[in-house]
């Protein structure tokens, strides 16, 4: 993905703003997911074919993670090590989701589709954040 394509996607012309926007979007999406898991573990668990206790635990983890990513996004210049940690955590989450689906979870069809879609979304955030970080580092040289 070129810097121009990335800037267009983020609707920003500065690499710093692009990076912050992708981090903020990640925090918002993750936070909404966390709130849904925390507020509706029973109905969502039945729909997705996943134990409600697992959704509660995931919701608590995701809420803390979203807060951390949000704090990183709020910094005027998010530090590269923090951004790399978010990228790596997102990639690990995507892989772990797919491995859990293949080896452990037995969700409903909706749950299987949800698991794959959220893994792809999280991996997409990782790619966007990594690319934006590289663009920022290239512009500051």
Least confident of 6-20, 35-49, 120-134: 6-20
**pLDDT for 124-139, tens place per residue?**
999 999 999 998 877 6
SS3 string of the chain? CCHHHHHHHHCCCCHHHHHHHHHHHHHHHHHHHHHHHHHCHHHHHHHHCCCHHHHHHHHHHHHHHHHHHHHHHHCCCCCHHHHHHHHHHHHHHHHHHHHHHHHCCCCCHHHHHHHHHHHHHHHHHHHHHHHHHHHHHHHCC
pLDDT at 138: 76
pTM over 0.85: yes
Above 90 in pLDDT, residue 4? no
């Amino acid at each position: 993905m070129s810097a121009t394509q990335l800037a267009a996607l983020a609707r920003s012309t500065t690499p710093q703003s692009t990076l912050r926007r992708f981090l903020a979007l990640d925090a918002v999406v993750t936070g909404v997911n966390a709130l849904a898991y925390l507020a509706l573990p029973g109905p969502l668990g039945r729909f997705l074919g996943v134990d409600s206790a697992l959704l509660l635990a995931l919701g608590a983890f995701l809420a803390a993670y979203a807060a951390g990513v949000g704090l990183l996004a709020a910094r005027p210049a998010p530090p590269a090590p923090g951004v790399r940690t978010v990228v790596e955590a997102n990639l690990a989450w995507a892989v772990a989701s797919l491995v859990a689906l293949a080896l452990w979870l037995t969700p409903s069809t909706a749950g299987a589709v949800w698991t794959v879609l959220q893994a792809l979304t999280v991996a997409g955030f990782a790619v966007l954040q990594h690319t934006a970080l590289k663009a920022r580092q290239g512009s500051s040289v």
